Amino acid sequence: MFQRFRRTRLNKTLRSLTRETTLSVNDFIYPLFVRSGEGIKTEVSSMPGVYQMSIDVILEECVELKSLGMNAIILFGIPDVKDSIGSDALCDHGIIASCVRAIKKAHPDMFVVTDLCFCEYTDHGHCGIIDHKHETVDNDATLEISASQALVHAKAGADMIAPSGMMDGIIQTLREAFDNGGYPNLPIMSYSTKFASAYYGPFRDVAESTPSFGDRGSYQMDPANRREAVAESISDELQGADILMVKPALAYLDIVREIKDNTSLPLAVYNVSGEYAMLKLAGKHGLIDYERVVMETMMSFKRAGADIIISYHAKEVAKMLKN
Ligand code: PBG
Ligand code: ZN
């Protein structure tokens, strides 16, 4: 049999015609952190380029994002007051509800995703109600208040809800709450495969949500487990999630591919705070070519099977894609 050893060298046009993976501004969701006040834009030391912003500043940010062709954001709230059950997240005038309402009023064309969890709103920093006897999160009690939080987001006008607490049964609970509450078409993006990861460190500085005791190991996944990682996402698919997710992204690309091949829903990756900080700081110190490394990293997520990338780099990527 004839076997040719030299590959034909393709010119630029052919290289782009045959490229297997592409990046577009439409692949991204940009995280924003909101807190109360006016004119507030506080940079977080562990994540240069990421800010806590007041609602008025977020409304300006949306103008800039739209000018870059980006309209999808995910919101995280930092409440004035934290308590044992995260009351701010359950109230129609809490920080997230207020922010969503303001954005949807000023920018109806923004697609607003809300992160649904309790760690940013509880004084103990865990993702739900604490079962004090066992020093862990009470799964079923947390499901109940999660449904309330989800309806608060829905009422405020959120376009998609993203539960990030990894409580068992959360997708079915939210699906039922939306069906019964008059939101049968509200999409749910599940943080379906979320590992107990040290890469979340900087986020907890921004969101001021470091647990005051213990860790999240009882409800987040063991990074050692591949089969369980796939099973968690399949379970959420069966419960009615619309989009699945792997988080963190970079150290888990094998999991991304495996879930992609074993489910049929769109798949998101969360390129988390620690991943962002590593590139940002290495870039700042001139150790890497920041822009090229960022683009290469984003491409690797798509190649691994991600349809959606949630990333703190998203705004910079949008600028790079524009040039
Ligand atoms: C809330 C939540 C976290 C992140 C997204 N949603 C923190 C956590 O689980 O500790 C982390 C995102 C990041 O590190 O960028 N549960
Ligand atoms: Zn949480």
The pLDDT of residue 135 is 77
Which residues sit with Cβ closer than 5 angstroms to ligand 2, an ion?
A: 117, 119, 127, 165
Q: Residue 244 and residue 190: Cα distance in Å, rounded? A: 5
Domain at 128, CATH number: 3.20.20.70
Q: Determine, yes or no, domain membership for 277.
A: yes
What is the torsional sign of CA 86, 170, 274, 74?
negative
Contact 158, 114 (CB under 8 A): yes
Q: Determine, yes or no, domain membership for 103.
A: yes
Neighbours of 116 (CB within 10 A): 26
Angle at 28 between CA 174 and CA 152, to 5 degrees: 30
Q: Determine, yes or no, domain membership for 234.
A: yes
Atom of ligand 1 nearest to the CA of 312: 15
Place of tokens 């924003």: 32
**Average pLDDT taken over every residue of the chain:** 95
In the chain the first and final C-alpha atoms are separated, in Å, by: 47
DSSP secondary-structure letter at 241?
-
Residues 206-257: tens digit of each pLDDT: 888 888 888 777 788 999 999 999 999 999 999 999 999 999 999 999 999 9
The pLDDT of residue 310 is 98
CB of 272 shorter than 6 A to ligand 1? yes
DSSP state letters, 84-109: TT-GGGGSTTSHHHHHHHHHHHH-TT
Structurally, how many domains does the chain consist of? Answer: 1
Residues 107-149: tens digit of each pLDDT: 999 999 999 999 999 999 999 999 877 778 999 999 999 999 9
DSSP secondary-structure letter at 7?
P
Q: Residue 65 and residue 59: Cα distance in Å, rounded? A: 10
Contact 73, 114 (CB under 8 A): no
Cα of 203 vs centre of ligand 1, distance in Å, is 6
- Of 203, 209, 215, 250, the residue with max ligand 1 atoms within 8 A of its CB, to mutate for a pocket test, comes to 203
Residues 55-94: tens digit of each pLDDT: 999 999 999 999 999 999 999 999 999 999 999 999 999 9
The pLDDT of residue 214 is 80
The reply to whether the predicted model has a pTM over 0.85 is yes
The pLDDT of residue 1 is 73
Residue whose C-alpha is closest to residue 164's, from 155, 154, 174: 174
CB of 127 shorter than 6 A to ligand 1? yes
What's the average model confidence in pLDDT over 157-177? 96
Q: Determine, yes or no, domain membership for 101.
A: yes
Q: Determine, yes or no, domain membership for 3.
A: no
CB of 88 shorter than 6 A to ligand 1? no
Q: Determine, yes or no, domain membership for 8.
A: no
Q: Determine, yes or no, domain membership for 16.
A: no
Q: Determine, yes or no, domain membership for 11.
A: no
Residue 285 to residues 22, 268, 278: CA-CA distances in angstroms? Answer: 29, 30, 11
Strands 308-311 and 267-271: parallel
Residue 18 to residues 11, 14, 21, 165, 243: CA-CA distances in angstroms? Answer: 11, 6, 9, 40, 28
| Residues recognised as catalytic | 194, 247
Domain of residue 251, residue span: 21-322
